[in-house]
Chain A
């Protein structure tokens, strides 16, 4: 079984987000970058399936050389080899089209359900469309038997079970597995595992960032006595104007 996992590199979850250049660029100064947590789940489940079926796992990342430390971490988790497409990830369409160029010959392609920085959540579906293969979004279970992949998705009011033959693309949701912690041997081995750098496909940008805006700071909590419903209604109607 050949598995391809698409990996994003995102700011650490505790990062204080600020912008530069008149709010048109994210300020990377002093920011610690990590593998997108949902992609870590995709890597882990990909490894589990590949290990159970004498397979291999390749990670692909669209991003600059400074992200190679995170790619090495994926390699230390047990991934066989890595591909970095040397371009800045502009948007989901750009990333999906770059990955689609190299995503041939794999039985299973995995992504995270979304990256936790821009939260697009579109690469999985776009890849399915570009490669003309089935896609299953936001899956909490992936299994493989007798040449067939089966997926479980959480949907409103229940769960949906899907199955199909590969190749197929799926995106990983929170409960898919526990992310694997690299061991010392993996860290040592990651130093010498193959990391191939490819030039990007020439594309016209489909989107452009006009500006970023931080959410308004949270205001203080106003406690209202349960017996004073009139005051609550007054605030909701006249101050907050929500009713």
Chain B
């Protein structure tokens, strides 16, 4: 395990911090209010190489490992969770799926565009009635000649409208058959593929979440990722890595809220002294920083295992579960420390408080993470 970050991780953090302070912090509350997804910021992150952090250099990516990747998401989330979430979804879900399961021709075709954010990626597993219960998905693909015809809708999709390319999981076999689902790549502009309703969310409002609709959408055979029927297994593996992203996102929000509360508690005076002098406040800060460090260690362990190509199923679920709950805890305590000011949009903790809740829900709820962890420890 790494307790001392290496130089490249520190440099990635500094780059993301500098970018976020310059290009995100000044406008983030405007985007939040308007639910505006800032595509130009995304392109800027792409120019820096942050949209293909894990993509090998041979495919136009940055070629870094999970330490640098998690650090980048964390630093973005310290400022704006929405941008961190969008970066996570683009990198680990859409790009990650193609990188892990695409053939050489598919990687050459799509990864270079995704790695520099020339194309924005989306990933479609969830449907209106099937969240955690993905095996009951209704979106169906039927083979007609050399093409697959896709019908159905996907919901809660990050970049469902703005995405230039989507990896879509659809039924190609029997209901509840874990080998009855296949992954397809659908490019924007394909007839029958359209964006649907954009969700009006509590938090993460600058990250676009919407429906993707497929009506007789014809997909060429060469857009199938891996083998027919392997889609569900692939998706579970993609989500194993994706959990590290959401854990890092959670950690960034928790740190952002904690750092804001720590600073405020030293400046805000009541009864003639800074409120940090009171144990009621100091103990909250002690709880926050202890939980943050514990979450960070779980994330580092997940990154370490992932970099070594080892199974991260249990550890990444633990990291995601714990870090997301810590983020909700810290944001809640931060608002409490700020008092009435924390309840206003004039201070950053109000936004952290709204953004953090996504982390215990998206890419597998806390309850599903506990299911994954308990299954892993009970199977032996």
Contacts and interface: CB of A to CB of B under 8 A. Distances in A.
User: 4 smallest A-B Cβ distances: which pairs?
Assistant: A184-B49, A184-B62, A183-B48, A187-B11
A72 interface: yes
Interface string B308-333: 00000000000000000000000000
For the complex, would chain B's binding face be called helix, strand, loop or mixed by DSSP majority?
A: helix
A184 B14 contact: no
B7 A184 contact: no
21 contacts: A69-B7, A72-B11, A73-B11, A76-B11, A181-B19, A181-B22, A182-B11, A182-B14, A183-B49, A184-B15, A184-B49, A184-B53, A184-B62, A185-B49, A185-B57, A187-B8, A187-B11, A187-B12, A188-B57, A188-B63, A191-B7
A72 B10 CA distance: 11
Contact of A181 (B15, B63, B68): B15
Interface of B: 7-8, 10-12, 14-15, 18-19, 22, 47-50, 53, 57, 62-64, 68
Contacts of A183: 15, 47-49
A235 to B, nearest CB: 26
Contacts of B68: 184
Contacts of B48: 181, 183-184
A168 interface: no
Contacts of B63: 188
B79 to A, nearest CB: 14
Contact of B7 (A72, A181, A182, A185): A72
A169 interface: no
Contacts of A185: 49, 57, 62
B167 to A, nearest CB: 23
Contacts of B12: 184, 187
Interface in A170-207: 181-185, 187-188, 190-191
Contacts of A76: 11
Interface string A76-116: 10000000000000000000000000000000000000000
Contacts of B10: 69
Contacts of B15: 181-184, 187
Contacts of A190: 11
A181 B72 CA distance: 14
Nearest to A180: B18
Contacts of A73: 11, 14
Nearest to B8: A187
Given A184-B12, A184-B62, A187-B12, 17 more contacts: A72-B7, A72-B11, A73-B11, A181-B18, A182-B15, A183-B15, A184-B50, A184-B68, A185-B49, A185-B57, A187-B8, A187-B11, A187-B15, A188-B8, A188-B57, A188-B63, A188-B64
Contacts of B50: 184
Contacts of A69: 7, 10
A178 to B, nearest CB: 8
